[in-house]
Amino acid sequence: MNKSLIAGASLIVLAGSVHAQSSVTLYGLIDAGLTYTNSQITGTGSGGHSNWQMTSGSVQYSRWGLRGAEDLGGGIKAIFTLENGFNVNNGQFSSSNRIFNREAYVGLSSRDFGTLTLGRQTDDMVDFVAPLSMTGTQYGGTHFAHPFDIDNLNDSFQINNSVKYESPVYAGFKFGALYGFSNEAGGFADNRAYSVGMSYAWGPLNFGAGYLHLNSAAGTPGQVNTGGAVTDTTGSSIQALLSPTSVPLGALASRQQTWGGGVSYAIGPAVAGFVYSQTNLTQLFQTGLSTHFQNFEGNVRYALTPAVQLSGAYTYSRAGGSGGSGSPHWNQVSAMADYSFSKRTDLYLQSTWQGLSAGGNSPLGVAWINGVSAPSSTNNQVEATVGVRHRF
C-alpha cells in the first residue's frame, strides 16, 4: 500500500515537473477606432467625399494568437507561434483563405546559438528596420506607413514556405536571415523570397538595416505561382492605381528589391530617429516598365508623463523610372497622442496628412494614406482617428 502511495505521489510530482517545462500562451490585441477622412473616391469617375467610419487596426492590426515553448534541456527549447489577424468591426478574418494569416511557424531556440524556425514568417525589413520607423511601432502604425507600404515596414505581407534564423545578441549585435521557397518543381526561383538583416544597440543608440528580395518568373499574372513565397493580395492600393486586375504581390514585378536602414537615439524621455528605404520594381506587372521608390523618414516620440506619449513623423517619398513618369513625390506628416489607462489599455488620437506632386501623365496622380479605404480625388488627403487598444 505504501509503495503504491509513493509511486502515485512520484507520478504527480513528475507530471508537475514536465508541465512546468512547457507552456502555451493565448495573447492578442484589439484596436478599434472612429476615422474621419476628408476626401475619398466613391466610384469610377466620381468625385471625392468626406467619410466617417469605424476602423479596425488604425495603429496596430487586431490579432490573436497562440505562443508555446517546451524546454528540451541544455538551453534548447521547441517553440511555435500561430497568429491570426481579424477585423474587429465585423469579426471576420483579415484574410479569407487562411486562419493564421499573420504568422504560423515552429522551430528550435537556443540561448547560445540562436533561433531556427520554419513556416509563414516576417522578413528582415520588418524585424530590423521597422522598429526604428513609426509605422512599425505602437507609436504610429498603419496610417504612418510610407506610400503604399511599398517597403513593407508596416508588415503588410508575410513570407510563406520560409526558413528563418535569428542569432543571439553578441556585444549589442544581432543578425538574421530568411529564405522563402517557391515550392515549385522546375521553378526554383518562381515566386521565391530571401532576406537578411542586422541590428546594433549600445546604450541610447539603436541601429538596424535590412534587405528583401522577391522573385516572380511568371509571364502573366494568371501564371503566378500561387503556392510560392508571397501570395497575399496586398499592396492593393498601388495595384488599383496601376493595374485593372488584382494579382498577388508576388506578381507586382518580376523582381522586387527593398533595402533600408534606420537609427534612433534616446535622450531622457525623448527618442529621435531617421529611416531610409528604397524599393526597386523591375518589369512592373510584366509590362517591361520599371520604377523605384525612395522614402526618407524623420521621427520623434516623447514621454510627457508615464501615462502620456506623444509621437510624430515626417516622410518624404519619391518615385522614378519608366514606370513612374511625371516623377511623383509625396510629403506626409503624422502625429499621435496616446494615454495609457494601464499596461494593457490605452486611448489614442492620431492624424495624417499626405500631399502628392506628380506630372499630369503619372498614374500615381492622387493621394492615398495607407489604411484608408479609398484614395482621394485630389492630390491631398487628411485622416484623423480616435481609438482604443486593449492587449491580452
Residue 90 corresponds to which cell in the numbers above?
465585423
- Helix, strand, or coil (residue 170): strand
Helix (H) or strand (E) holding 278: strand 270-284
Q: How many helices (H) and strands (E) does the chain have?
A: 3, 17
Is the residue at 5 inside a domain? Answer: no
- Tell me how many domains the chain contains: 1
Domain residues for the domain of 66 are 21-391
| Position 29, amino acid | L
pLDDT in tens, 341-360: 999 999 999 999 999 997 65
Is the residue at 28 inside a domain? Answer: yes
Per-residue pLDDT at 245 exceeds 80: no
Per-residue pLDDT at 247 exceeds 70: no
The CA-atom distances, in angstroms, between 65 and each of 27, 83, 139, 380 are 5, 4, 22, 37
Query: What is the distance between the alpha carbons of residues 212 and 297, in angstroms, rounded to a whole number?
Result: 19
Q: Is the dihedral of CA 262, 267, 271, 274 positive or negative?
A: negative
Report the percent of the chain where pLDDT is more than 70. Answer: 83
**pLDDT for 57:** 95
Is the residue at 13 inside a domain? Answer: no
Query: What is the distance between the alpha carbons of residues 167 and 370, in angstroms, rounded to a whole number?
Result: 32
**pLDDT for 326:** 62
Is the residue at 339 inside a domain? Answer: yes
Nearest CA to 219 among 239, 182, 190? 190
| Position 258, amino acid | T
Per-residue pLDDT at 376 exceeds 50: yes
- Helix, strand, or coil (residue 165): strand
Query: What is the distance between the alpha carbons of residues 255 and 292, in angstroms, rounded to a whole number?
Result: 12
pLDDT in tens, 168-210: 999 999 999 999 999 999 989 889 999 999 999 999 999 999 9
Average pLDDT in the chain = 87
Report the DSSP pairing between strands 48-56 and 192-202. unpaired
CATH number of domain containing 314: 2.40.160.10
Is the residue at 290 inside a domain? Answer: yes
Nearest CA to 77 among 48, 106, 100? 106
Is the residue at 321 inside a domain? Answer: yes
Is the residue at 3 inside a domain? Answer: no
Considering just the CA atoms, what is the radius of gyration of the chain in Å?
Answer: 23
Is the residue at 300 inside a domain? Answer: yes
Query: What is the distance between the alpha carbons of residues 241 and 56, in angstroms, rounded to a whole number?
Result: 23
DSSP states along 18-84:
HHHTEEEEEEEEEEEEEEEEEEEE-STT--EEEEEEEEE-SSS--EEEEEEEEEEETTEEEEEEEEE
- Helix, strand, or coil (residue 17): helix
Span 259-269, mean pLDDT? 98
